[in-house]
């Protein structure tokens, strides 16, 4: 089994993506998590470009890493100055990183129009920079920037730039599709010609501007590049870099290469979510391999087939990369969806086919009215229990009133009063809030917490409103989705109405009922 060197550049190239920013502490946390994953190299940043990156290199030196080597990134010396006088080269040395990734120009267009130096001077810049870093005991990875564009424009010159880096002592020659415009077929041909012309250890660095970064990286490995650059979740400038969360499982599970241990690969989904969380990015549900929807089944025919043999609609087992199989409930659901979900929820007795059909028909009817159960599994379980005759009444509403008052030049004011019965006892309370829904939530909790103290352990984590029939204007029906959590789990609930307060009330009541239903202390007292 051939070993692939994974070179992670999330902390450098990834931060060039729009909306991505890490503090030096964030970068330390991510580096430690990447080390646990088992990547070979972690590119920490560009020393000298900003104080934050330099702070990272200072701090990471005191943190022991088990596997990964920290790499510093920078450019070749500037034109027509001595390498030891170059500020960028000095900053690379000051980082004290033992691995240096240095990039140089492969495309004559960049040499002439961006660097404004001669083609011969560019060759010297590459050679001088690499040889100087090697003389200082550094392990040098040479990034041939714009290599594929440069090769297509002037093959001989692009090859000369690589030869200069190799002759200067670079351990790895990384071929970069910097603009992300190279197609898989031409990429393979260029790598083939390059390898036959210059014998060296090769790497690949691709961007996703044509949606081909992962595919091109895979092809490069099949062509013999054993060193692969990428970022977690595909972060990067413009359309992003090659996504390691797709590259690693493809190489390891489908092509038989070794990127990390099998055990570590099972943490890949967690790593993906961790980096998204630190970056404050909402992860796309349909992300291959690690996305929440990557192994989610919705159509009844699909679910029926998966229950018989998971290979029918899953290309790998989700557990191999730390993900999980999900069956969604919707108006497309059949008996198989309901059977799978009720079993997953722990119902000991199987439902009769007629009961499964009845629940499926109820779901279809309610979704036709605007309900959505894909993200409201709490409401779904309550519906199932009601159909099964296991509905539990934790309180009985007598009524509520919500007041919103707005005066000129003052913030709006919201107050809710509620009257309900719990275990035969009438409770009448009022509460203020930041808006009518928050006031209603506060009043409901205030009335119930003396009877159910563990309700204090439950909290709302998300609140979404979707207008379903916009053409009806302010009379439009709305769907409210609420996400709630306690220390053990997270669940969603849904409410639908032309009145946003009523829709919110339905979702709020379901969220509380679900929590109380699952709370063991509540169940013991009943």
Any idea what the CATH number is for the domain that residue 420 is in?
3.30.160.740
Q: Both 347 and 437 in a single domain?
A: no
Give the three-class secondary structure for 234. helix
For residue 489, is it within any domain? no
Decide: 442 and 455 in contact? Cβ < 8 Å.
Answer: no
User: Which pLDDT band, with edges at 50, 70 and 90, does 346 fall under?
Assistant: low
Q: What is the pLDDT of residue 335?
A: 61
pLDDT digits (tens, 9 = 90+) for 116-151: 999 999 999 999 999 999 999 999 999 999 999 999
Q: 231 and 133 in one domain? A: yes
CB 207 within 8 A of CB 241: yes
Count how many domains the chain has. 3
In a domain, 378, yes or no: no
Segment among 18-22, 229-233, 363-367 with least mean pLDDT: 363-367
What pLDDT is attached to residue 390?
Answer: 75
Q: Write out 433-470 in H/E/C secondary structure.
A: ECCHHHHHHHHHHHHHCCCCHHHHHCEEEEEEEEECCH
Segment 262-277 shows an average pLDDT of 95
Which of the given ranges, 98-102, 345-349, 496-500, has the highest pLDDT on average? Answer: 98-102
Q: Are 102 and 74 in contact (CB under 8 A)?
A: yes
Long-range own/partner contacts, residues 152-155 (CB < 8 A, 24 or more apart): 152/186, 152/190, 153/107, 153/108, 153/109, 154/107, 154/108, 155/193
Q: How confident is the model at residue 524 (pLDDT cuts 50, 70, 90)?
A: low
Q: What is the DSSP letter of 151?
A: H
| Same domain flag for 212 and 352 | no
Expressed as residue numbers, the domain containing 310 is 296-368
Indicate if the pLDDT at residue 526 is higher than 60.
no
Among 279, 311, 332, identify where a domain stops: 279
Residue 50: strand, helix, or coil = coil
Q: Looking at residue 393, what is its pLDDT?
A: 86
Q: Which residues 6+ apart lie within 8 Å of 445 measured at CB?
A: 431, 455, 512
Q: Are residues 332 and 441 in the same domain?
A: no
Does the structure show a pLDDT above 80 at 362? no
Q: Which residue has the higher pLDDT, 354 or 109?
A: 109
Q: What is the pLDDT of residues 439-452, one digit of tens each?
A: 999 999 999 998 99
Q: Residue 186 and residue 241: Cα distance in Å, rounded?
A: 19
CB 218 within 8 A of CB 253: no
pLDDT at residue 332, as a whole number: 57
Q: Tell me if 115 is assigned to some domain.
A: yes
Give the model's pLDDT for residue 436. Answer: 92
CA dist 340 and 335 (Å) reads 9
With a pLDDT cut of 70, the percent of the chain lying above it is 94
Based on the domain organization, do 106 and 137 belong to the same domain?
yes
Nearest to 329 by CA among 314, 344, 311: 344
DSSP string of 94-121, one letter each residue? HTT-SEEEEEEE--HHHIIIII---HHH
For residues 43 and 189, membership in a common domain is answered with yes
Average pLDDT over residues 400-429: 91
Q: State whether 218 and 267 are in the same domain.
A: yes
Is there a domain that residue 390 lies in? no
Q: How many CB atoms lie within 10 A of CB 502?
A: 14
The backbone torsions φ and ψ at residue 389, rounded to the nearest 5 degrees and listed phi first, read 80, 25
pLDDT digit string, tens, across residues 385-409: 887 777 788 999 999 999 998 888 8
Q: What are phi and psi of 306, to 5 degrees?
A: -65, -35
Q: Are residues 141 and 244 in the same domain?
A: yes
Say what angle helices 119-135 and 155-168 make with each other, to 10 degrees: 20
Which of helix, strand or coil describes residue 518?
Answer: helix
Q: Which segment of 156-170, 251-265, 321-335 scores lowest on mean pLDDT?
A: 321-335
Give me the CATH number covering residue 94: 3.20.20.70
What is the number of alpha carbons within 13 Å of residue 340 lying toward its C-beta? Answer: 25
Q: Are 134 and 141 in contact (CB under 8 A)?
A: no
Residue 120 lies in a domain: yes
Q: Is residue 254 part of a domain?
A: yes
Determine what percent of the chain falls in helix, strand and coil, rounding each to the nearest 5. 45, 20, 35
- The residue with greater pLDDT, 324 or 81, is 81
Residue-level pLDDT at 211: 98
First and final CA of the chain: distance in angstroms? 60
Which of the residue ranges 46-60, 350-364, 439-453, 473-487 would you say has the lowest mean pLDDT?
350-364
Alpha-carbon distances of 102 from 56, 140, 216, 268, rounded to whole Å:
18, 7, 22, 28
C-alpha distances out from residue 90 to 29, 80, 99, 145, Å: 27, 16, 14, 21
Q: Which of 279, 310, 335 is the last residue of a domain?
A: 279
Instruction: Kindly state whether residue 28 falls inside one of the protein's structural domains.
Output: yes
Q: Percent of the chain scored above 90 by pLDDT?
A: 71
In eight-state DSSP terms, residue 78 is P
- Band (426; pLDDT cuts 50, 70, 90): very high
Kindly state whether residues 240 and 180 are assigned to the same domain.
Answer: yes
Q: Do residue 244 and residue 316 come from a single domain?
A: no
Give the pLDDT of residue 399.
95
Confidence of residue 265 (pLDDT cuts 50, 70, 90): very high
Q: Are residues 240 and 345 in the same domain?
A: no
Please check the confidence at residue 374 and state whether its pLDDT lies above 90: no
d(CA 494, CA 507): 5
Q: Please give the average per-residue pLDDT across 276-283, as a whole number.
A: 89
Closest-CA residue to 272 (of 260, 288, 256): 288
Among 318, 351, 368, identify where a domain stops.
368
pLDDT at residue 365, rounded to an integer:
75
Check residue 142 and give its pLDDT.
98
Same domain assignment for residues 303 and 246: no
Domain membership flag for residue 486: no
Q: How far apart are CA 460 and CA 254, in angstroms?
A: 41
Q: 525 falls in which pLDDT band (50, 70, 90)?
A: low
151, with CB counted inside 10 A (0-12, 13-18, 19+), is: buried
């Amino acid at each position: 089994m051939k070993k692939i060197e994974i070179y992670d550049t999330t902390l450098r190239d990834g931060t060039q993506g729009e909306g991505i920013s890490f503090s030096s502490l964030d970068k330390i946390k991510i580096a430690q998590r990447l080390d646990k994953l088992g990547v070979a190299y972690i590119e920490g940043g560009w020393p000298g470009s900003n104080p934050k990156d330099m702070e990272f290199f200072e701090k990471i030196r005191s943190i022991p890493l088990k596997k990964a080597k920290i790499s510093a990134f920078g450019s070749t010396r500037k034109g027509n100055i001595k390498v030891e006088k170059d500020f960028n080269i000095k900053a690379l040395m000051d980082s004290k990183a033992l691995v240096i990734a240095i990039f140089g120009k492969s495309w004559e267009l960049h040499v002439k129009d961006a660097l404004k130096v001669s083609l011969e001077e560019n060759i010297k810049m590459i050679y001088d920079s690499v040889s100087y870093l090697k003389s200082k005991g550094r392990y040098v990875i040479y990034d041939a920037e714009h290599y594929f564009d440069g090769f297509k424009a002037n093959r001989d010159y692009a090859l000369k730039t690589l030869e200069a880096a190799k002759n200067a002592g670079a351990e790895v020659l990384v071929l970069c599709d910097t603009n992300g415009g190279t197609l898989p077929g031409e990429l393979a041909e260029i790598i083939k010609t390059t390898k036959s012309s210059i014998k060296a250890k090769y790497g690949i660095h691709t961007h996703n501007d044509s949606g081909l970064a992962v595919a091109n990286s895979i092809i490069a490995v099949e062509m013999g590049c054993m060193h692969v650059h990428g970022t977690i979740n595909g972060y990067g400038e413009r359309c992003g870099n090659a996504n390691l969360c797709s590259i690693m499982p493809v190489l390891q599970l489908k092509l038989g290469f070794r990127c990390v241990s099998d055990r570590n690969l099972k943490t890949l989904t967690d790593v993906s979510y961790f980096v998204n969380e630190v970056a404050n990015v909402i992860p796309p549900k349909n992300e291959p391999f690690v996305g929440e929807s990557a192994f989610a089944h919705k159509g009844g025919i699909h679910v029926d087939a998966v229950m018989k043999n998971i290979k029918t609609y899953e290309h790998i087992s989700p557990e191999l990369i730390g993900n999980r199989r999900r069956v969604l409930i919707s108006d497309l659901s059949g008996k198989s969806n309901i059977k799978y979900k009720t079993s997953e929820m722990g119902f000991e007795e199987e439902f009769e086919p007629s009961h499964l059909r009845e629940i499926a028909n109820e779901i279809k009817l309610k979704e036709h009215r605007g309900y959505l159960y894909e993200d409201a599994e709490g409401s779904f379980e309550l519906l199932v229990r009601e159909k099964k005759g296991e509905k539990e009444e934790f309180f009985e509403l007598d009524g509520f009133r919500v007041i919103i008052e707005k005066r000129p030049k003052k913030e709006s004011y919201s107050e809710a009063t509620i009257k309900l019965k719990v275990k035969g006892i009438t409770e009448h309370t009022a509460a203020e809030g930041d808006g009518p829904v928050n006031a209603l939530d506060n009043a409901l909790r205030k009335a119930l917490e003396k009877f159910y103290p563990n309700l204090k352990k439950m909290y709302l984590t998300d609140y979404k409103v979707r207008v379903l029939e916009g053409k009806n204007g302010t009379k439009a029906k709305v769907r409210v989705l609420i996400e709630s959590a306690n220390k053990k789990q997270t669940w969603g609930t849904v409410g639908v109405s032309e009145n946003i307060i009523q829709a919110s009330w339905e979702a709020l009541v379901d969220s509380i009922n679900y929590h109380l239903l699952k709370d063991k202390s509540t169940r013991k007292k009943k």
